[in-house]
Structure 1
């Protein structure tokens, strides 16, 4: 295994730890407060049961701020901090009305920005990120108001 692949795998799996075969997927939940917490709870209720062909699965600990599809192939955390590598001058693509920052150091990590809360999505290499982000855009727009 190359060092580059090992580094990518470590970054991609950072927020995800499997809790054992057949069990719930362990994902560290964020701790949003106030309006961001309320918006994230609303988002959790609007997320799809199936995303890019994967069923939504149980997570541990149970949190209204976390969703996982397909045993951690796609994971969402709502109410995370602003990406530390994001600069004010960064150009970010917009997919169906939602701006997504893609961390150059963590290519599998995308963060919806410019909303009531930051929404972090980790997408495994088996999936096309644009398809996943497109499917998440509608519930994000419906529940997380734009800021600024």
Structure 2
């Protein structure tokens, strides 16, 4: 597994979209993540909304859906209760994936949740936003043309391990954003 923690720079660093700073030493970041992951509380958090992408995002999500593995975190794939074509679940409690979800509030200037320097981790070539929530973690792809959200209950701590099983499918189906003028990504 390749795991690299990162931070986004504030939007002022790039008018188009955030850029990434140099990597933090892996041993320090992994120790911090494992400590934080071990402190999450149990219980069911709020259910994520059902994604409904359109156009090119829907096409990319269909490609992702067909490429998803049968097992994530050692758990078998099942049909989501919603029956949504852009969602997938594994195990009980469920590891949930939604493709074509909206931009997270933490990445949206002006939103209540906005954070100009959110925590990121790159797992096997796919950068993810890390958000601790009650009962586990929510991970959302960044630097991709479509946002993919994965919620992992704390029953699967360290929660980030589930992303290892998903990285190849995401990397193959959801294109990376191309660098734009000024060296940032868009």
Shorter-chain TM-score range: 0.7 to 0.9
**Equivalence map 1:44-123=2 (5 Å):** 44-86=65-107, 87-104=115-132, 107-123=136-152
TM-superposed deviation, 1:101: 0.5
Aligned partners of 2:106 and 2:118 also within 8 Å: no
Change (3 A) 1:104 1:31: same
Q: Which runs of 5+ in 2 are unaligned?
A: 1-39, 108-114, 178-185
Aligned residue for 1:31? 52
Q: TM-score, normalised by structure 2?
A: 0.63
**Equivalence map 1:125-144=2 (5 Å):** 125-127=154-156, 128-144=158-174
Helix, strand or coil for the counterpart of 1:102? strand
Q: TM-score, normalised by structure 1?
A: 0.77
TM-superposed deviation, 1:48: 0.7
Cα distance between partner residues in 2 of 1:78 and 1:142: 14
Change (3 A) 1:72 1:66: farther
Aligned residue for 1:25? none
Aligned partners of 1:78 and 1:117 also within 8 Å: yes
TM-superposed deviation, 1:42: 0.5
- Which protein has greater RCO, CA pairs closer than 8 Å, 6+ apart? 2
Runs of 4+ in 1 over 6 A off after TM superposition: none
Name which one, 1 or 2, has greater alpha-carbon Rg.
2
Cα distance between partner residues in 2 of 1:125 and 1:91: 18
2:61 pairs with 1:40: yes
TM-superposed deviation, 1:129: 2.0
Cα distance between partner residues in 1 of 2:154 and 2:170: 23
TM-superposed deviation, 1:58: 1.6
The alignment of Structure 1 onto Structure 2 pairs a total of residues equal to 130
Cα distance between partner residues in 2 of 1:105 and 1:74: 14
TM-superposed deviation, 1:73: 2.3
Q: Which runs of 5+ in 1 are unaligned?
A: 16-27
TM-superposed deviation, 1:103: 2.0
